[in-house]
Structure 1
Amino acid sequence: MFGYVMIDKPELKVKDYYKYKAYYCGLCRMLKEKYGFLGQMTLTYDMTFAIVLLTSLYESDTALSKHHCIVHPVQKHEMLQNEITEYTAAMNVILAYYHFEDDWKDDKSLSGLAGSALLNRKVRNIIRQYPVQSDAIRNSLKQLQQYEAERATDIDLVSGCFGRLMEELFLYRKDHWEPTLRRLGFYLGKFIYLMDAYEDLPEDLKENRYNPLRSVCEQEDYEERCYQMMLMMMGECSAEFEKLPCLLDADILRNILYSGVWAKYNKIQKKRKEEREQNHDNGSL
């Protein structure tokens, strides 16, 4: 469900791109060091956004280093790490763990069983260290499972469940920024859920899988309705961001919130347009 909160590289300054990449590589290395290769495989762009945002907000001391890695074995790459990198790495892993658990419970997936077993000990430590976030993630995913079992059609209700999960991830500290960070995370989470449902709908229809958009996909205004819902969520999310005193890396953050999050949507639109044109051409032969 993750992978939508990314940069729009063509619209980003070169220096900002390399700094974002250094945060991303720093998270990748942290996952490898603390949680091993499987932990490293949970790496997401979404948590990189959380690092950049929280580092900017709290002006955290950040260490710059250069290292080789599997992806870049020849040339060393810059990596930025701080205390927030460690926090987001933990959130990344616990999200992956509960996803593995669900895969095993729902589909008897052997990869889900293996993944949850391999991460079990590490996750117990994360739960002890971050009990509030861990409970929120577990409870939200459990509620989502229930909605899925019920074939719930209330899009706002279901997406709001994932929004509540995301809002907890941004609460690195309990302070006066909590209400703003909660709303930012909530609306971003709803956007992510809606975008994921929108992208997955054709395959879900084919496989007869649950998707909250099934109930509206036959309506004439389906495409516009989906776009407006997602636009509204990002409008609310961006409005909350603008309340925060984020000066450091503000251009990176705005690039993500105002442009990058739409990269996947634009890609989907382009692909579906090409498919329609191809079907039209085939039909006219």
Structure 2
Amino acid sequence: MFGYTVPAYQRLSPLDLAKYRRYYCEGCHQLRDGFGLLGTATVNFDMTFNTILLAGVTGEALEFEGTKRRICVLDSPKADSDLMRKMAAYTLILTKWELFDDETDKPSMKVKAISAALGKAMEKAVKEFPEYDDMVGKGFQDLRRLELDGCKDARRMGTTFGKGLTGALKDFAGDHACEDLDILFEELSAAVYIMDALDDLDDDYMDGTYNPFLPDEGYVNARSFVNANLYRLSETVSATVGSLQSRYSKVRPKMSGNVSLCDNIVYYGIPESAKRVLTGDTTAKASVKNVLSNRKERMSRGARGVEQTADVQLVGLAPGRGADASAVEGAVLAAPWPVPPACGIRGRGARLRDARPDVPLVTAQPARPAFAVALVRHGCT
């Protein structure tokens, strides 16, 4: 899983956490059902948020049964929803153009292999919705022209990119489409573009590929660059996130559902992603290439080498204290959903003595006195 449009999990109510999981898993099910098992590799946080927001705006797919299977990727879709079927196709169309852009920037066997693996799924999506393919393709072409012109205005780059992506989303909204919703999606795309560009500074410098933030000379590394330009970069990020939030506040009264979940993502989750990018606490995987190639690692303070952060409750662990697995041997995981196998942990109710002792656990204040909430890093397949 990858993307920047993530919830602030520690602020989610149990109901919203379960709802978010339903939408995320349903996106995966729709991809598998419509485009095959390999298509599920493209499921991501950003498209999940788009689905949740549009469901709230249109009133479609607000209630559907969640998956109950342990290996849920094999489950069938639970929502009979045109919105979610279109979003699955749109996800693959975006992936097609992202891979094309990567191949244009720096041809590689890795990108060719990924394109070949996803080729049939992407071709099917394009065949079903050629108009969406044309819209997204034009957006990437407009972005490419700015790159060739050497544009250094990251916000302009992001909003230009966003304009190319909103056509399909406007169609998804149907009669509920409006200017505020269009600009919201433009600003969301701009925010993702800007955070991705900041995350990619070192990679783009080493690869010799375009990045609007890279200086013409004197670049050493991302950390030094961000530290030296923190106020300017923060201003760019804040302007984009602030505009996104402003437009969302105008769309919000028209929503018929998913309001509290969208509030969490817009007002807490996205700003936290931006903060992590600026402070170097995390490198979020923002493309399917990074996920399949393991090019980047998502990092978290006190934990390394994982794909997702899951909120779990540790029975008997003192709140507010950090501890590694060996220090809390015998504690029981009570995760909001089953934890995939990683580091020796085998799911809900697993004993932490089975975990690798070199994987630290970072605890926060408890939701209620009897428990401590911890962030356990684990892989997700």
Deviations 1:212-253 (A, max 9, x none): 012498698721222222222122222222222114110100
C-alpha separation between the residues in 2 aligned to 1:64 and 1:176? 25
Cα pair 1:4 1:45 within 8 Å, conserved: yes
Partner SS, residue 259 of structure 1 = helix
C-alpha separation between the residues in 2 aligned to 1:63 and 1:220? 46
Supply the AA of the counterpart residue of 2:209. R
2:243 is the alignment partner of 1:242: no
CA apart distance, 1:267: 2.7
Structure 1 residues 228 and 138: alpha-carbon distance in aligned structure 2, compared to 1, 3 A threshold: same
Partner SS, residue 95 of structure 1 = helix
Per the alignment, residue 298 of structure 2 pairs with none
| Structure (1/2) with the larger helix percentage | 1
2:277 is the alignment partner of 1:268: yes
C-alpha separation between the residues in 1 aligned to 2:192 and 2:226? 22
| Aligned ranges 1:111-126 → 2 under 5 Å | 111-126=110-125
Cα pair 2:187 2:241 within 8 Å, conserved: yes
Structure 1 residues 78 and 16: alpha-carbon distance in aligned structure 2, compared to 1, 3 A threshold: farther
Cα pair 1:24 1:48 within 8 Å, conserved: yes
Per the alignment, residue 279 of structure 1 pairs with none
Q: Give TM-score scaled by structure 2 length.
A: 0.63
Cα pair 2:58 2:256 within 8 Å, conserved: no
CA apart distance, 1:105: 4.1
Cα pair 1:16 1:252 within 8 Å, conserved: yes
2:66 is the alignment partner of 1:56: no
Name which one, 1 or 2, has greater alpha-carbon Rg.
2
C-alpha separation between the residues in 2 aligned to 1:32 and 1:92? 12
Cα pair 2:226 2:233 within 8 Å, conserved: no
CA apart distance, 1:258: 0.8
Looking at both structures, which has the greater relative contact order when contacts are Cα pairs under 8 Å and sequence separation is at least 6?
Answer: 1
| Structure (1/2) with the larger strand percentage | 2
Supply the AA of the counterpart residue of 2:151. A
C-alpha separation between the residues in 2 aligned to 1:86 and 1:175? 18
Superposition RMSD on alpha carbons, in Å? 3.0
Per the alignment, residue 39 of structure 1 pairs with 39
Deviations 1:148-201 (A, max 9, x none): 344332323322222213322421144353322211111111111111112222
Report how many residues are paired: 270
Cα pair 1:63 1:82 within 8 Å, conserved: no
Per the alignment, residue 189 of structure 1 pairs with 189
C-alpha separation between the residues in 2 aligned to 1:116 and 1:77? 25
Supply the AA of the counterpart residue of 1:57. V
| Aligned ranges 1:1-285 → 2 under 5 Å | 3-61=3-61, 62-68=63-69, 70=71, 82-171=81-170, 172-175=172-175, 177-215=177-215, 222-244=229-251, 245-271=254-280
Partner SS, residue 65 of structure 2 = strand
